[in-house]
């Protein structure tokens, strides 16, 4: 019998994907559902952010005498709580925590996966109602089952990721995630409270018309980077017009646009930050995994982001990410020596 509806929920989709792999146990699907659940609860709170003056400012005490929590702390606590309750997560590492957190109950210690996340990326945008997001990544642990997970489980390169993605809290709320098979987007249908498949098999356009960077920092960039910015500002596109600059200052929002419309997003090294600003394990690896699953490219200037061997949980890296052609063009300017080799 034909299904009377066209909607495919996140759960249905991940279960259908799992069926392609007879050895799969369904744990990865459950974990994605758990992350989706945490993000739906976070979304509810984000939607109320504009009402803080009415409901009470963060840090202040509300009418019931409870202290209002900062949204990024709320998001962090929610993800930890949901993943701790899940039977499929051995431990987490968060941009908000100094160290990773192993879960030590019997079920968690026997779980195959660890999860890393930036609970609320772009949180400085909350006050101006611009999109923000949660970024997540999932690795299969290396440490033996039956004991608490260890640091080495979280310090794996991006090329070992099993799944990664983000939830964007914007004009609609979307979860976009990739496995090694494909990248897919799910829009939250508020009336049924489910993420529904809306962007199947996303492909990042090979070319793009938009560059995205905090150009205010350009006085601190090296000559190669300055030359690439000049290239973007000149008439270099096929239609004879300069590239457009778009920069929200929320990586999830800037990357979401780059994924769908094409273009390049950059946070390079500069005179004050030799490694750039963005975090390898919480931001750059998951986004590079996703973009590459969609046919794009993520580079740190001298190679793939996904091939960096992490040494610290909170390490930073420069990033050039987006449409393959435009990232390769940027690399011609920023790492000519590497390209010549």
Name the residues that contact ligand AHG, by CB under 6 A.
121-124, 214, 249-251, 254, 277
Nearest of 267, 283, 57 to residue 166 by alpha carbon = 283
Distance CA 36, CA 42 (A): 10
The nearest distance, CB 124 to ligand AHG, in angstroms, is 4
Are 9 and 194 in contact by the 8 Å Cβ rule? The answer is yes
Q: At what angle do helices 251-261 and 285-293 cross, to 10 degrees?
A: 10
The residue (of 103 and 267) whose beta carbon lies closer to ligand AHG is 267
The nearest distance, CB 276 to ligand AHG, in angstroms, is 10
The nearest distance, CB 153 to ligand AHG, in angstroms, is 25
The residue (of 96 and 302) whose beta carbon lies closer to ligand AHG is 96
Distance CA 184, CA 271 (A): 37
Instruction: Strand 210-212: give its sheet, edge to edge.
Output: 244-245, 210-212, 264-267, 319-322, 297-299
Which residues lie below 8 Å from residue 192, measured CB to CB, with a gap of 6+? none
The residue (of 153 and 270) whose beta carbon lies closer to ligand AHG is 270
The nearest distance, CB 226 to ligand AHG, in angstroms, is 17
The nearest distance, CB 201 to ligand AHG, in angstroms, is 26
The residue (of 28 and 251) whose beta carbon lies closer to ligand AHG is 251
Are 35 and 86 in contact by the 8 Å Cβ rule? The answer is no
The residue (of 86 and 250) whose beta carbon lies closer to ligand AHG is 250
């Amino acid at each position: 019998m034909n299904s009377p509806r066209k909607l495919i929920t996140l759960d249905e989709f991940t279960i259908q994907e799992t069926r392609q792999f007879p050895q799969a146990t369904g744990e990865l699907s459950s974990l994605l559902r758990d992350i989706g659940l945490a993000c739906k609860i976070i979304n509810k709170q984000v939607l109320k952010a504009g009402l803080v003056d009415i409901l009470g400012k963060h840090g202040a005490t509300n009418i019931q005498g409870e202290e209002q929590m900062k949204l990024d702390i709320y998001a962090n606590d929610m993800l930890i709580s949901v993943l701790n309750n899940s039977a499929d997560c051995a431990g987490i590492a968060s941009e908000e925590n100094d160290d990773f957190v192993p879960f030590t109950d019997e079920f968690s210690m026997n779980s195959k996966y660890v999860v890393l996340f930036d609970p609320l990326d772009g949180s400085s945008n909350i006050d101006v109602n611009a999109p923000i997001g949660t970024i997540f990544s999932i690795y299969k642990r290396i440490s033996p089952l039956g004991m608490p997970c260890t640091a080495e489980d979280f310090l794996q390169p991006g090329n070992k990721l099993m799944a990664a993605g983000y939830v964007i809290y914007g004009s609609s709320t979307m979860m976009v995630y990739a496995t090694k098979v494909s990248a897919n987007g799910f829009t939250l249908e508020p009336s049924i409270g489910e993420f529904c498949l809306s962007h199947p098999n996303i492909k990042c356009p090979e070319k793009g018309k938009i560059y995205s960077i905090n150009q205010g920092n350009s006085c601190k960039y090296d000559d190669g980077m300055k030359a690439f910015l000049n290239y973007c500002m000149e008439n270099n596109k096929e239609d004879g017009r300069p590239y457009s600059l778009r920069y929200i200052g929320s990586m999830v929002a800037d990357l979401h646009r780059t994924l769908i419309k094409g273009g390049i997003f950059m946070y390079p090294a500069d005179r004050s930050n030799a490694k750039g600003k963005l975090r390898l394990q919480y931001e750059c690896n998951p986004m590079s995994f996703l973009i590459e699953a969609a046919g794009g490219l993520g580079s740190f200037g001298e190679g793939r982001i996904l091939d960096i061997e992490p040494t610290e949980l909170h390490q930073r890296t420069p990033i050039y990410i987006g449409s393959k052609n435009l990232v390769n063009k940027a690399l011609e300017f920023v790492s000519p020596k590497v390209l010549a080799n």
